[in-house]
Chain A
Amino acid sequence: MKLTKEEVKHIADLARLNLSEEEIARYQSELSYILEYIDQLQEVDTTGVEPTAQVTGLINRFREDVAATPDEATRQRLINAFPEREGNYDKVKAVFE
């Protein structure tokens, strides 16, 4: 499965990754090569086989919909992790232009 440069750029956009020209070329060849290897899965007959979504065998693990506020120390650690702060707010670029 050979990927075009445009396809690679499109994937990078979807994945929100800024790649250099060199990286785009490198991933273009590496991804094509890996996808070729993966193509062998097409030779397996999977008619009537259910996909494995999860292996636990568990169904619908519910809990009560009760909000739990974190303790003050945890809350402070969350706030301290913000890359840019203004008071207790996470300072970010405008969401809408």
Chain B
Amino acid sequence: MSKNYKILQFLSFIIVMHLTSLTLKETSDGLNRHEFSSVELTRAYLDRIERLNPSLNAYLTVATESALEAAKAADERRAKGENGALLGVPIAVKDNMMTVGIRTTAASKMLEDYAPSYDATVVKKIKDAGAVILGKTNLDEWAHGSSTENSAFGPTKNPWDLTRVPGGSSGGSAAAVAADLCAGALGSDTGGSIRGPAGFCGVVGLKTSYGRVSRSGLLAMTSSTDVIGPMTKTAADAALLLQVIAGADQFDQTTYPESPKPHEYQKAIEGRSDLKGLKFGVPVEWLESTGLTQGVSKATNEAIEEVKRLGGEIKKISLPYARYGIPVYYVITPSEVSANLSRYDGIRYGYRDKETANLFEVYTKSRGVGFGAEAKRRIMLGTYTLSHGYYDAYYLKAQKVRTLIAREIENVLKTVDAVIGPVSPHVAFKIGAQTDDPLKMYLEDVYMGTASLAGLPSLALPCGFALPEKGKEKMPAGLQLIGRRFDEATLLAIGNVYEKATGWGKSKPVL
């Protein structure tokens, strides 16, 4: 009796382990075939989160009760004959998107106990589709950062090496996907915040075209570049999640009035089995840059060879203005941040300091205490660059150089279908290695700023492993594919072909 029980325990452990290692598509198919219920699946993820989150700190809030309720509701909908790609599927949401019933902190002391008054449009869409929100993931405070070390609630650890950063600012979501703590996640990208962590954690991350997905309910950072996008185990998964969250939204007038066609992304993936007929541009400036490490350079070049083997044509292209991407981004971002964060004033919500003599002190002390160092740094920088006498030299100048950067890559994309290159110059660095130098951290975005400034879609895909600058264990390396505006379909189809041919993204960290 006791031996049989032990065998049963072991078997159920294997089944549970198996459930959380499924891709979003496998999960969806499995639920549809009634192989398991959403409640079973959700419990499996919640158990795994309970076991692993203390050492990873991927989730800031685990919404146990509401997740199980949503799972139960999804199972009931399924019993009535309903089916959909996200019905009953457990998803993680970056904690800068508003979720009614689940606190939303932006990883800041300013909003430590904030209960949102409405759902972000993307949250509403995935809830309507029957998704189960497992919880809210960690980020650099207000999405300011490239390592998740700026979180007021501790950094997230890279599941491949707990002494290294997961990248940022969507580090929590990336780690959650890499560690099988969700079937898929939502992240946001302003200057690389989906792509960077996807690259460092060896998962798929899609920075969507500006205007493809509604920003309503996303706590605003840089209004002219912020986007929300999927972070998943495979490109096909990203396609499924994107199909649900994309589209025009009356609450965000910067969304493109035409929504994607039904099954647009899935059809694009199914319609392509090789890369014949596609042209890829390799920016000479990127592969020649001194900051690019040997390991990442090798992995990127191998990926380019693979693209050729799959039938793609490789062309050398030049992006001379792209090198100004970082200084442009770091004028525009702090400027827009300084405006967007002015709403956090201790009046209507969030932290209000108690040691205040008058209204002015309510503002200055609530903000002085509630905001972390990087937030304050960016607010200060932006206040300066937008101030009287400096606006022309800084913000206006930056927006003009932005026009040159955007025009340049858009012209290139008339002659190629995608620009291909690395996500980052190196693999994940050690926690604490770069916190002394804010500028060094800003340079993490060197290959990612261009797509953000031009509003173009960009897909990050695992493309192998490489040695870090200091260390003997290899870490994931990411490949970046930048496409034409609203051409996520082509990028996802390319990603799917590449993934299937190479098998990158299949291996998982041992936890």
Whether B352 and A42, one on each chain, are in contact in the complex, defined by CB atoms closer than 8 angstroms, is no
Knowing A17-B367, A31-B381, A31-B384 touch, does A44 contact B404 (C-beta < 8 A)? yes
Q: Which residues between 80 and 97 of chain A lie within 8 Å of chain B, taking CB atoms?
A: 80-84, 90, 92-95, 97
Whether B403 and A82, one on each chain, are in contact in the complex, defined by CB atoms closer than 8 angstroms, is no
Q: Which residues between 413 and 472 of chain B lie within 8 Å of chain A, taking CB atoms?
A: 438-439, 442, 453-455
Whether B348 and A90, one on each chain, are in contact in the complex, defined by CB atoms closer than 8 angstroms, is yes
Q: Give the complex CA separation of A95 and B411 in angstroms.
A: 53
Q: Which residues between 51 and 97 of chain A lie within 8 Å of chain B, taking CB atoms?
A: 51-56, 58, 61, 63, 70, 74, 77-78, 80-84, 90, 92-95, 97
Contact-residue bracket for chain B: 35 or more
Tell me, rounded to whole Å, the shortest Cβ–Cβ distance linking B120 to chain A. Answer: 14
Q: Give the complex CA separation of A26 and B396 in angstroms.
A: 27
Whether A27 and B376, one on each chain, are in contact in the complex, defined by CB atoms closer than 8 angstroms, is yes
Q: B358 touches which one: A3, A61, A93 (CB < 8 A)?
A: A93
Q: Give the complex CA separation of A29 and B331 in angstroms.
A: 17
Q: Which residues of A contact B118 (CB under 8 A)?
A: 70, 74, 77
Q: Give the complex CA separation of A3 and B117 in angstroms.
A: 41
Whether B383 and A11, one on each chain, are in contact in the complex, defined by CB atoms closer than 8 angstroms, is yes
Q: A23 touches which one: B211, B352, B376, B383 (CB < 8 A)?
A: B376
Q: Which residues of A contact B400 (CB under 8 A)?
A: 44, 46, 49-52
Q: Which residues of A contact B404 (CB under 8 A)?
A: 44, 46, 49
Q: Give the complex CA separation of A63 and B252 in angstroms.
A: 11
Whether A31 and B254, one on each chain, are in contact in the complex, defined by CB atoms closer than 8 angstroms, is no
B32 at the interface (CB under 8 A from A): no
Whether A50 and B438, one on each chain, are in contact in the complex, defined by CB atoms closer than 8 angstroms, is no
Mark B residues whose CB is within 8 Å of A.
Answer: 100, 114-118, 210-211, 224, 250, 253-254, 256-257, 321, 324, 327-328, 330-331, 338, 342, 345-352, 356, 358-365, 367-369, 371, 373, 376-377, 379-381, 383-384, 387, 393-394, 396-404, 406, 438-439, 442, 453-455
Mark A residues whose CB is within 8 Å of B.
Answer: 3, 7-8, 11-19, 23, 27, 30-31, 33-35, 37-38, 40-42, 44, 46, 49-56, 58, 61, 63, 70, 74, 77-78, 80-84, 90, 92-95, 97
CB-defined A-B contacts under 8 Å, sample of 13: A11-B387, A16-B363, A17-B368, A17-B371, A19-B376, A49-B404, A51-B399, A52-B224, A55-B406, A56-B256, A77-B117, A81-B114, A95-B359
Known: A52-B400, A92-B359. 17 other contacts (CB 8 A): A11-B380, A11-B384, A17-B379, A23-B376, A27-B376, A31-B377, A34-B442, A38-B327, A41-B324, A44-B324, A53-B224, A53-B399, A55-B453, A70-B117, A81-B115, A83-B349, A93-B362
3 smallest beta-carbon distances between A and B, as pairs: A18-B368, A55-B455, A51-B399
